[in-house]
Structure 1
Amino acid sequence: MSERPAATRKAATWTLVVGSLTLGACAIGASPEIESRAGLGCVDDSAECVRRRQATLRNMVDDKSRSWINESPTPEAYASGVRLFAYKSKKKELSCDELKRGKLEADTARTSLQSVGTRLTPAQVSRSVMLAGEVGRELQNEINRRCKTG
């Protein structure tokens, strides 16, 4: 009988550990940093996705450090349009290096989007490729206007 209480205590301890990890993961998932990027993977046109994309775009545009420029985008981030719209919105404030990074992203978006298989619809891919082309041209114009080549 003395083994049963020990086994019960062990099970209770493991339950507490797993519960703590689960709650910790939930807390991590709700952090402002992660929440501020929630719109990057949201690609449908539901009201919730639109809200998330708008909030993410606002956070990126308001980010004085522009740390998002150094993050690696996913195909879904291109399909959401958020990163491309952020570059479009901030182009007059970006450094030449940041403009070039944005131009490279816009140029490589097509390949990235076409590699997703069935995760995105053909219409989502098509719209995103057109947006990437438009943003790429705008960024190139800004580079030509402000940045020395050589």
Structure 2
Amino acid sequence: MKSSTSQSIDNYLAAGDGAGSLLAHARLLQKLAHIFADIAPAHLAQASTVANYRAGMVVIHAASGAVATKLRQLAPTLSQEFGKRGCECIGVIVKVQTAEIPRRTTPPAVRPLASGARREIAGLRDRLPPSPLRDALHTLLSRAADE
């Protein structure tokens, strides 16, 4: 038995206004994703996702340019198969959507600088006139860990 809160949420999502159409669109995308998984070659289906459906066009995001090229070659066949399985599909749009590369969360490791190397670099820095090279050597010495 559903609680009154869950019933009111279900009623809201099933309504014909914005929330209802959003739920219907989500269900359609889910159906298209299942069909796509069935009709596309497995290696291509694993490297791509159904992203949207608008104006009779199924939008697919591919993980790489190579996958996108193969899917574009298969677009007429995919479109026909979507149609045969009950979805109004006049075409397939394939876009490359690469996965986000996670940002580095750990600071770079500080490499130790041998005492002899530190003395040589400091001596070179002290002999140089004021310049970007001298500034770079100063920065290197200040950032490097002692051995």
Rg comparison, structure with higher value: 2
Write 1 or 2 for the structure with the bigger share of helix: 1
Write 1 or 2 for the structure with the bigger share of strand: 2
* Structure of higher RCO (CA pairs closer than 8 Å, 6+ residues apart): 1
Q: Same fold (TM over 0.5)?
A: no
TM-score between both structures, scaled by the size of structure 1? 0.27
TM-score between both structures, scaled by the size of structure 2? 0.27
